[in-house]
Amino acid sequence: MPRPPAGWICRGDIRDPGTEGADARPFVRRGPFMFSNADIQVRTGCALAGVRLLGSMATCLLLIVMPLFGQGSTGTITGVVTDPSHAHLPGVDVVATNVATGVSRSTVTNAQGEYTIPLLQPGEYQLTASLPSFRAFTRSGLVVELGRVIRLDMALELGEVTDSVEVRATTPLLESETSSVGQFIENETVINMPLNARRAGELISLMGNAITISKDVLRPRVAAAGGRGDQQQWMIDGVNASNIALEIPQALFNPPVEAVQEMRVQQNAYSAELGNSAGGVVTISTKSGTNEYRGGLYEFLRNDALDARNFFAADKAPLRWNVFGAAMGGPIIRNRTFFFVHNEWQRQRIGVTNTLTVPTELQRSGDFSQTTDNAGALTAIYDPLTAHQDPEDPSRIIRDPFPNNVIPEDRFDPVGATLVEFYPLPNQAPTNPAGANNFVGNRTNALNLSTLTAKVDHTFSDTDRFAFRFILHDFPTNNTPVFSQAAADPFGVETDRRAYSFLFNHLHNFSPTLLNDLRVNYQPRRFQIHPLEPDGNWPAQLGLNGVNGSPFPRVNAAGFVALGNNNQGRVQAPITDTHIVNTFSWFRKSHALKLGGEIRLSRNQEALAQSISGNLTFQPQGTGLPGQANTGNAIASLLLGYVHRGRVAEFDILDRRANYFALFVQDDWKVTPTLTVNLGIRWEAHTPRVDANDRQNGFDPVATNPVSGTPGVVTFAGRDGLGRTVYDGDYNNIGPRIGLAWRPFGSRNAVIRSGYGIFYGPPLPGSNNTAAGFGIEGDLQTPDNGITAPFLLRDGFPASSRLELGPGFGAVPVGEAPVFSPEFIDKDRRLGYSHMFNLSIQGEIGFSTMVELSYLGNLGRNVPGPSISINQVPPDNFGPGNRQALRPFPQFNDVTRVSPMDGTSSYHGMNIKVEKRFSHGLNFLANYTWSKFIDDVPAQFEAGSVGGGPQNLFDRASEKALSGNDVRHRLVWSSVYMLPFGKGRATLNEGIAASVLGGWDVGLIMTLQAGNPIGLVTQVNTTNGFTPGPQRVNVLRDPSLPTSERTVERYFDTEAVVAPPELTFGNAGRSLLTGPGLANFDVSLIKNHRWGQHYNVQFRIEAFNVFNHPNFNNPGRALGSPNFGVISSAGAPREVQLGLKVEF
C-alpha cells in the first residue's frame, strides 16, 4: 500500500497521547504542507491542565496590574508648557474641558514641563494652563479625535494669573506622536457623504492601501494593506464588535451613520495596545449626549422608478428601500449625566438581476445534437454503460457515443429527469455558441433591519465616571426566488439574526498621572438560516432515497446554475462573546506607560443540517470520453443519474468554546520635544477549541488503521487517551512593536514617522466542523474521475448510519469504495502573523491641509488558506483507471485540513494622501495607492478570481502568484463642500434669497481602480489524481486582448489556452489575467433650511454611480464551461436616493 506523501513524517519527541512508555509512537509531522517542527513532549491531560492554568494566570495578572487595552475609543492631548525663554515649566495646572458636556479632566506638568491628558471622549475641548506669576493660557476650538494623540505645546507669558491669553485655532493635522498608519474619518464626513447603505462601514473604502471586496448593509468585506480579506478587528466604543473568536473576525455590528460620532482605521504598525488582527483594526465611537437637548427624525427612500437598468437586465429590477429613524440626546443632570438614544428601521426590497446558464429544451429532452463549445464544435455525448478497454491501448477506458448525440428517453434516470424539469427555460439568446447566459431574471432580496443604540454617561466626581451603552441589531432577511419553483431556487433563503451588545465602562483617576479604565462587554446573539419551502418533503417528491431531510436537495451540474440552496438548515443559539478590558495608564516624566491585556470568552451552540437532503454533483466526465476534451455534458450526466459525488450529513448539537488572552506593555517615550519613540511588546494566545460534550474529531496520519492496514486514523476528543482538545495551544506569540515620530529640526509643519511590528491574526478553527461520529454522515465520490459512478440517482444514497467511534471509524478495506471523508485541524496549529513596517512623511501646507507620502509593507507568514484535501495521489502514480488504492489514505475519500495556516504573502504599497479637515465649509480626502500583493494561498474573500486549492499538493512553489486582492492602481477622492450662501455662511445671510439660494451642500466620492487578477482553470480535471484544487490550463500565448477588442462576450482570447494533456498539470500560473477595473462616482446634493439657533430641515438627493457606468464583474474562467471568457454580471447601475431630515 502507498505511504503518505514523501517528507510528511519525521521522527521527533512529540508522543501520541494515546500511548505510554516504550510503546509511545513518534507523532511529529512535517512536509510540503508543514504541521510543525516542534520538539516538545505533549501529554493531552497536561496540555489541558496547562490551558486552564494559563487562563487562571492571565486572569489574575489582568486584575493585579489593572491593564490597558487602548482600543481607540478615546483621544489624548499631550505637549510641553514653556515660559517666554522657552524653558520648560513644571507644576502647571492643565485642564481640558469638554465644551458640549462641561466635563473636565486635569493634570499637572512634570519636571520637564510635559503633560498628558488621556481617555478623553471625542469632541471639542477648551484647554487651559495656569501657574502663579504667569498669565493663564486658554486654547479653544481643539477637537479631540477618536484614537488620536494630539500634540499641543503652550507658551505662558509673564503676568498675573487673573490675566489670560485666549487663542482659538484648529486641531493639528500632523500625527507627531505615533508611528501607526491609518485613516481618521471625521463627523462631517460620516453624516454628509453619499453612502449607499447609510452605514459606517462603507467609509472604509475612502482610505488608501485598501480595496472593497463587497458592500453590504450588514457588513462590508475589505482587504486592508496586505491583510486577508474580511479579517479586520472591529471595535465599537473600545470593545469587540466582531464575530466570536472561533470564526473570522468579520464585522458583527455595522452601525448607522446617525449613531456614529467618528471612525478610525488602523492599517499598519499599530501599537501594542491593539491585537488579534494582522489585517487592520476598525474603531468606531458612538454618539453621546451633551448639555443641550438635540435630536432628529429622518427618512431615506429609494425606488426603481428613479434608477437606471442594469447592463444585463431586460428591465429594471424591483427596488423599494425605506430607511427611517430618530435620535435624541441631552442632559439628565447638567454637567453630570447625559443620555443618547438612536433607533433606525430599514425596510429593503432590493431587486437583483441574475444572468444564468440553464439547459435548453433540446438538452432537457436528451437531445445534445446542437450542444457545442465556444468555437462551435459539437460536444460529443458518450454512454457510460459502454465503458471498455481501448483495443489499441488496454490501459485506457473508452466509451461508445450515443447515436446522433441523443440520449434515448428510456435511458433517463427517473430522479434525474424529474430534477431537470425544475430548471427554468431559456428566455433570451445565449451570448456564445456554447449557450452561456441564456436566462435572465429579477428577484428581490428583502431585509427588515432594526437597530437600537442607547447610551448613558454619568460623572460621579472628578475622579470617577461611568457609562453604559446598549446596541441591538435585528436583521431577518428573505431572498425571493428567480425560479418558478421556490424550493429549487439556489438563491432563495430566509435568515433570522439578532445581536446585542451590553457595555459597562468605569473610568477612575487615582491621580493626575494614574488612571484606570474598565470595560466589560457582553455580546449574545442568534442566527438561523433555511431554504425556501423547507418542509416540502422534497426528496420523497423527487424519488430520492437514502436521505432523511425535507428541503430540496442541492444539485450542482457543472457549467449550469445549481438547483436547491447550498445550506439546508442551520440554527445557532446561543452565540456569546464576553469581552473584559481593564485599563491602567501611568504617566511619569517623559514616559507614557501602559500595561494591558484583555480576556474574551466565546461560545457557539448550533444544530447543523446543511446537507440533510443531500448534496449532489454531476460533471461532464460522466458522459464524456475519458481524457478527451469537449466531450460530455453535466446535464446529460444528470439525465442518466450518473452521480460524480454525493454527500449527506446531519449532526448532533455542537457546543463549541474558545477563549482569548492578551497582555502588553506600551511606552510612548518623548525623547525630546521633537522626537517620540513608541516601544511595545504584546503577548496573545487563543486556547484550543473544546466542545462541551466532546463532539469533535481529529486525525492521526501516522497511526495504522485497523480496517485498512494503512496510515490514517480518525481520533475523537476525550477518547482513547486523547484530551478534550483536538489540536494543541499556541502560547508563544510575542509581538514586538517599535516606531518613532520625528519633527525634523524642530519643524512644526513636517513629521517623519516609521514603525515596525509583528502582528498575530485569529486561529480560525471554525465552529461547526470536525464533528465526525456525532451524527449521520456519508460522502461518496467516483474513484476514477467519472468512469464509475459512486451510485445512481435511481438507487438513492447508500444507507448511512451512526458509526461506532474507534480507530476504524469510517474506513473501508483497501479496494472497496470509500464512504467517508474526514476533516481535521492540524494538531500543532500555529497562529498566522505579519511583519508590518512603514515609513511616511507628513507636511502641513496651510488651509488646514496635510500631504502625506507613505510606504508600507506587510509580510504574512502562516497565513490561512482554504480547506484542502491531503489525499492526493502522488504525481508519479498518475494513470488511467481507478487510482483510489494509490492515495495516501486509500480507506477514505478526501482527507481535509481545515483552514491550514501555512501560506505566505507580501504586500508593498506607496500612497499619496492629501487631506483637508473640515474648515471654511470644505473638507476633502484624496488617496492614490500604487501597490503589489503576492501570496501562495487564496483568501476566503477576494475581489479577484484566483481561488481554489493548490493544483498539485506536492508543488507548493507553483502556487505563488498575484493575490486575488491585488489592485495595482487605485485613486479615491471624497469631499463635502458647503456652498458659501445662506444663514451662518459667508454671504446671503438673510432674506428670501438666503432661504432659496442658501444652505446647499455637495458631497462626492470618486473611485477609480484597476482590475483584479484572474486565473484560468479547466472545467474537467483530467489529472485523475484527486487533486485538492482545480486543474489549470496550458497557455499557448498571452490570452490578454487589447482594450479595443474586449467585449462582454469575449473578454480575453479564449483560443490562447487549451486543456492540458490527460494526467498532467497545466502550465498556467494561479493568476494569469487582469479583470475589468472600476470607475464609480457617488454624489449628494443637500439643502438645509435653518431657523432659530437649533432647528434645521434638510432635504437630500443622492445618486450612486451617477454616470451609470457599467462596472463589469470578472468573466467566466473555467475552460469547457459555456461562459468561459464571458462576462455575465455587472455592478449596480445608477441608483437615486431621496432623504429628509428634521434636526433640533
Helices (H), 150-202: 187-192
Predicted local confidence at residue 41, as pLDDT: 32
**Residue 411 covered by a domain:** no
What would the pLDDT profile of 750-791 be if each residue is shown by its tens digit? 999 999 999 999 888 888 899 999 998 889 999 998 999 999
**Residue 110 covered by a domain:** yes
**Residue 129 covered by a domain:** yes
Section 108-116 average pLDDT: 89
Cell of 224: 486592508
Share of the chain above pLDDT 90, in %: 64
Residue position matching grid coordinates 451524527:
775
Residues 483-514 as b/e (b if ≥16 CB within 10 A, e otherwise) read bebebbbbbbbbbbbbbbbebebbbbbeebbe
Predicted local confidence at residue 144, as pLDDT: 87
What would the pLDDT profile of 999-1036 be if each residue is shown by its tens digit? 899 999 999 999 999 999 999 999 999 999 999 999 99
Q: Rounded to a whole number, what is the distance in angstroms from the first to the last CA of the chain?
A: 79
**How far, in whole angstroms, is CA 400 from its chain's centroid?**
49
Going 949 to 950 to 956 to 957, the CA torsion angle's sign is negative
Encoded amino acid at 263, one letter: M
Which range among 45-59, 412-426, 799-813, 1101-1115 shows the weakest confidence by mean pLDDT? 45-59
Q: What is the 8-class DSSP label of residue 884?
A: G
Which range among 23-27, 222-226, 283-287, 799-803 shows the weakest confidence by mean pLDDT? 23-27
Residue 27 has pLDDT above 60, yes or no: no
Predicted local confidence at residue 1091, as pLDDT: 81
Q: Is residue 989 very low, low, confident or very high in pLDDT (cuts 50, 70, 90)?
A: confident
CA-nearest of 140, 103, 139, 137 to 120 is 103
**Residue 106 covered by a domain:** yes
The pTM for the full model equals 0.87
**Residue 527 covered by a domain:** no
Please give the Cα distance from 989 to 999 (Å, whole number). Answer: 10
Section 1037-1048 average pLDDT: 94
* Number of structural domains in the chain: 1
Residue 561 in contact with residue 85, Cβ under 8 Å? no
Predicted local confidence at residue 30, as pLDDT: 31
Encoded amino acid at 798, one letter: P
**Residue 733 covered by a domain:** no
Q: Is residue 3 very low, low, confident or very high in pLDDT (cuts 50, 70, 90)?
A: very low
Residue 36 has pLDDT above 80, yes or no: no
**Residue 88 covered by a domain:** yes
Residue 71 has pLDDT above 60, yes or no: no
Q: Is residue 168 very low, low, confident or very high in pLDDT (cuts 50, 70, 90)?
A: low
Which range among 32-41, 135-144, 165-174, 293-302 shows the weakest confidence by mean pLDDT? 32-41
Q: Is residue 186 very low, low, confident or very high in pLDDT (cuts 50, 70, 90)?
A: confident
Predicted local confidence at residue 163, as pLDDT: 65
Higher pLDDT, 30 or 610: 610
Please give the Cα distance from 933 to 279 (Å, whole number). Answer: 13
**Residue 211 covered by a domain:** no
Predicted local confidence at residue 57, as pLDDT: 43
Predicted local confidence at residue 174, as pLDDT: 84
Q: What is the CA radius of gyration of the chain?
A: 32
Q: Is residue 161 very low, low, confident or very high in pLDDT (cuts 50, 70, 90)?
A: low
Predicted local confidence at residue 8, as pLDDT: 35
Cβ partners under 8 Å of residue 344, min gap 6: 256, 258, 259, 323, 324, 325, 449, 450, 451
CATH number, domain containing residue 82: 2.60.40.1120
Share of the chain above pLDDT 70, in %: 93
Residue 472 in contact with residue 451, Cβ under 8 Å? yes
What would the pLDDT profile of 524-555 be if each residue is shown by its tens digit? 999 999 999 999 999 999 999 999 899 999 99
Question: Alpha carbon of 861 to those of 278, 759, 858, 935: distances in Å?
Answer: 10, 10, 10, 10
Beta strand pairing status for 1017-1018 and 1118-1119?
parallel
Residue-number span of the structural domain to which 89 is assigned:
75-168
Residue 47 has pLDDT above 60, yes or no: no
Encoded amino acid at 941, one letter: F
Going 941 to 942 to 947 to 949, the CA torsion angle's sign is negative
Section 350-364 average pLDDT: 92
Cis-peptide into 574, omega within 30 deg: yes
Predicted local confidence at residue 531, as pLDDT: 93
Please give the Cα distance from 647 to 894 (Å, whole number). Answer: 12
Please give the Cα distance from 679 to 437 (Å, whole number). Answer: 57
Please give the Cα distance from 636 to 1123 (Å, whole number). Answer: 18
Cell of 308: 437606471
CA-nearest of 684, 817, 894, 956 to 69 is 684
Cell of 986: 459667508
Cell of 752: 517623519
Q: Facing residues of 658 across strands? A: 602
Q: Is residue 17 very low, low, confident or very high in pLDDT (cuts 50, 70, 90)?
A: very low
Residue 58 has pLDDT above 70, yes or no: no
What would the pLDDT profile of 711-756 be if each residue is shown by its tens digit? 999 999 999 889 999 999 999 999 999 999 999 988 889 999 999 9
